[in-house]
Structure 1
Amino acid sequence: MDSNLDVLIYAHDGRGLGHVSRSVGIGLALRRLFPELSVLLVTGCATTAELIGDGSLDWIKLPSYKTNVTAGKSSGVKGDSNIDDKLLGELRARNIRDIVAAYKPKVFLADHTPQGKHKELLPSHDVSPETVRVLGIRAVVGEVGKVWSDFSSEIFAGTYSNILWYGDSSVAGAGELERLSGHYGVAPHEAGYVSRLSELQVLNKDNAQGDRLAGVISIPWSGEGTAVLMDTLAETLGGIDASYGKWKIFMNLRESGTVTAVENFSGLEHVSFEQVGPQFLSDLRNSRSAVIYGGYNSLTDVMVCAVPTVVLLRGMKDGEQEDHAAVLADKSSVIQNVLADQTVTVEELRKSLVKCLEAEVDESVINLNGAENAARYLAELAGGCDADR
């Protein structure tokens, strides 16, 4: 095959960071284990460079999508380019087609759906026919119509040949694997949970530890319940003894409205704010507790770092986070409590955080080596050499 690239990774983007973070983790593992392979990531996520941190992974930036969430349902709006959501999908589709045509990757990994967001991968399926196309699917999909539609299975059958499943059947059972196999007609390859932080830990393993934190709180994007939650958090942290240590709240400080949220914490000298980025890794693994939303990316973060955690849920219509958090809470002592972000009370949150601060975490039984396993699988498809062991 006349190829200019070994592996091209496409990351679905819109609201959260889970899709991009998984893709970055796999890309970093490919570059670490197989330095002779050429690897590129393509996505519209504006914070991708911050997710990559000091890792060696190059990427191509597309204009970003933007999504609003109302009553648990996502809808597209104009992004930072101020281009209409539908038109942006058509323009990005041409961009992706041109990239695939120019680079002719040996392997193409698409996250989440075979058609891509707004069907933007469809034109690229007509070029570089020798490219092996692989679909990556998270551990618990939820009721996402674009994944389970007849259209997605038809697109997969005509273009793709492999599925990587980023889960652990010994934890969640084989139900999701069987459902994927029945829908797409191939047996998925079980990789395990993919963690970007596990790859960054390898890169930063010699970094000195800082002062022990009481906890870190991650709110990577704001939704309709964020303002109420921030009020609850401010009152909660104000009522927890400062002798436990300092708290750091990670948010996208570039989002409108965050200034008001920060002002709620004035006078709490043991609380500070940080921009979402690589610093979260070192602070998380040096914390006694964590508060996160129940997305795939955040759940794997806290499991890798073995930090007792309170999981918040946004109440999305697809039910993915509720199902996933319930499964993992039953198997991992890392997840101390699961609470709804819009209804949690100050007393509930305070008790949960104190419980985390005093908790001991058992050794994980969950396969968290998904980034490495996925990288080895993709490298084999690309004809790469054995990784250094």
Structure 2
Amino acid sequence: MPFNVVDLPGTDRVQRSSHAPRVLIYSHDTFGLGHIRRCRAIANSLVASYPHISVIIVSGSSVISSFQFGDGVDYVRIPGVEKQTDGRYGPHHLNLDLNDTIRLRTDIIKQVVLSFDPDVVIVDKEPIGLRGELVPALDILRRRGARIVLGLRDVLDEPVKLHEEWRQCGALDALGQIYDDIFVYGLESIYQPLAGLPNPHLFEHKIRYTGYLKRAVPSPMPPTRFPRITKGPFILVTPGGGGDGAGVIDWVISAYEADPTIELPSLIVFGPFMSRERRKGFAERIARIPKLESLGFEPRLELLMNRAHCVVAMGGYNTFCEVLSFDKPALIVPRVKPRLEQAIRAERADQLKLIDVLHDPQESGEGPRDPLRMAAALHALPRRMPPSQAFVPNLLDGLPTIGRALADDLSLPVRDRPAAQSSLAKS
């Protein structure tokens, strides 16, 4: 099977050198797992292509330590900030107000930039960071001559909403003034996330569509005991991080409650951010249904995705990449609040016959969920054609394209940036 490859380099390490190129990846991580998983995939791919380099991920993810990283990759965790379902932010753990937390994050990011002195910086999604926390670091990086890249997922939000958000915070100016490159981790033929923004002549020449980021099975670790139903064909149900995934899980469980004849069993993975109360209630219902089992959190979800016959998911960027990478028939139930990102992606992918989409009427305010409607979709899902049969060219070229785009900066055995020689003495 062509998808059974590992995503980490082998045990042999190249000789360490303090003079080799360095990459810093910024991931603000305020909700779910999407940002850190995307950054991890890029970091592991870069050190696989350029084993002599060093990569540091600066992240606010509370679960970053659960993930595997390749040799040459490490991370600095900044204090976490939570994005609530209504779009507002607050500290995750600290007993500080938001302003003090952002100030602390800003200082840590700046110090990492001063000490690590990267040659390439990849900023995930937020051009100036959360609440502008990246601006001081970006100023230093510009003075030091680093190559600064903005990495964007295929869909951000509705153009009007994105324009207003970025205009208010100053991110629009950063596209033209700060960034050397803008990588869109998708295909132009599927969606153009920056279309409709004003003054496109200032940044459109910087945009490179890479294709989606292909995922692979993680390298071996001590054996993991998965539930018994994974020994045969099963449906994997994943709401991503789980913080906003209760609706799709409830709908799937209610379908099995209403229709015991659904052919394939399902494994439901709750995700690390689902509340304990929700998880307990779902677990009690699942225990009464022989065709359902559950897991709390699996950081190596790729292992389960690879085993599964088909997938039910909310349709975040990373899950979508995994569905494409492991070529799984998929039913996407996208959220529509607080952003339309998942719905836009799912509808476009449905048009291209990559996946099937089923909208949650309760989330959109159209009425209650019909268990039999989900049951019908679960009956049909195992017979759906896999995404590869849609024959979309260059669909999964993202990681090698990023590596080639950065080759001039990373392929040399020693750092080729003049500023790097004396930058540690400067602020």
Match of 1:327 in 2: 348
**Deviations 1:254-299, CA, capped at 9 Å, x for gaps:** 7432223322322123322223333421211221221111211111
In the alignment, the residues of structure 2 paired with residue 266 and residue 286 of structure 1 have an alpha-carbon distance, to the nearest angstrom, of 22
Deviation at 1:360, TM superposition (A): 2.6
Asked whether the 8 Å contact 1:115–1:121 carries over to 2, the reply is: yes
In the alignment, the residues of structure 1 paired with residue 411 and residue 380 of structure 2 have an alpha-carbon distance, to the nearest angstrom, of 49
Aligned runs of 1:33-182 on 2, under 5 Å?
Answer: 33-50=49-66, 52-53=67-68, 55-56=70-71, 57-70=73-86, 74-128=87-141, 129=143, 130-142=145-157, 143-144=161-162, 145-147=164-166, 151-172=170-191, 176=194, 181-182=200-201
Asked whether the 8 Å contact 2:243–2:273 carries over to 1, the reply is: no
Letter in 2 for 1:381: D
Aligned runs of 1:230-245 on 2, under 5 Å?
Answer: 230-238=249-257, 239-241=259-261, 244-245=264-265
1:339 lines up with 2:359 in the alignment: yes
Equivalent pairs: percent with the same residue? 20
In the alignment, the residues of structure 2 paired with residue 324 and residue 376 of structure 1 have an alpha-carbon distance, to the nearest angstrom, of 26
Asked whether the 8 Å contact 1:163–1:188 carries over to 2, the reply is: yes
Match of 1:355 in 2: 380
TM-score (ref. length: structure 2):
0.78
In the alignment, the residues of structure 1 paired with residue 240 and residue 193 of structure 2 have an alpha-carbon distance, to the nearest angstrom, of 30
**Deviations 1:54-91, CA, capped at 9 Å, x for gaps:** 64432111111112113xxx111231223322321111
Q: 2:298 aligns with which of 277, 288, 293?
A: 277
**Deviations 1:356-377, CA, capped at 9 Å, x for gaps:** 1222325242511212221332
Match of 2:310 in 1: 289
Asked whether the 8 Å contact 1:10–1:110 carries over to 2, the reply is: yes
In the alignment, the residues of structure 2 paired with residue 61 and residue 26 of structure 1 have an alpha-carbon distance, to the nearest angstrom, of 18
Larger Rg: 2
Letter in 2 for 1:325: A
**Deviations 1:95-123, CA, capped at 9 Å, x for gaps:** 00000011110011101122011111011
In the alignment, the residues of structure 1 paired with residue 89 and residue 217 of structure 2 have an alpha-carbon distance, to the nearest angstrom, of 34
1:194 alignment partner, SS class? coil
Q: 1:377 aligns with which of 396, 400, 405?
A: 405
Asked whether the 8 Å contact 1:30–1:379 carries over to 2, the reply is: no
User: Relative to structure 2, which stretch is displaced further, 229-238 or 186-195?
Assistant: 229-238
In the alignment, the residues of structure 2 paired with residue 266 and residue 284 of structure 1 have an alpha-carbon distance, to the nearest angstrom, of 22
In the alignment, the residues of structure 1 paired with residue 283 and residue 96 of structure 2 have an alpha-carbon distance, to the nearest angstrom, of 30
User: Relative to structure 2, which stretch is displaced further, 294-303 or 177-186?
Assistant: 177-186
| Structure 2 gap segments, 5+ residues each | 1-17, 414-427
Asked whether the 8 Å contact 2:323–2:330 carries over to 1, the reply is: yes
Letter in 2 for 1:369: D
2:190 alignment partner, SS class? helix
Letter in 2 for 1:97: K
Deviation at 1:319, TM superposition (A): 1.9
Cα-Cα RMSD: 3.0
Give the number of the structure whose residues are more often strand, by fraction. Answer: 1
**Deviations 1:193-212, CA, capped at 9 Å, x for gaps:** 124xx1x43746xx999623
In the alignment, the residues of structure 1 paired with residue 77 and residue 177 of structure 2 have an alpha-carbon distance, to the nearest angstrom, of 28
Asked whether the 8 Å contact 1:42–1:61 carries over to 2, the reply is: yes
Match of 1:29 in 2: 45
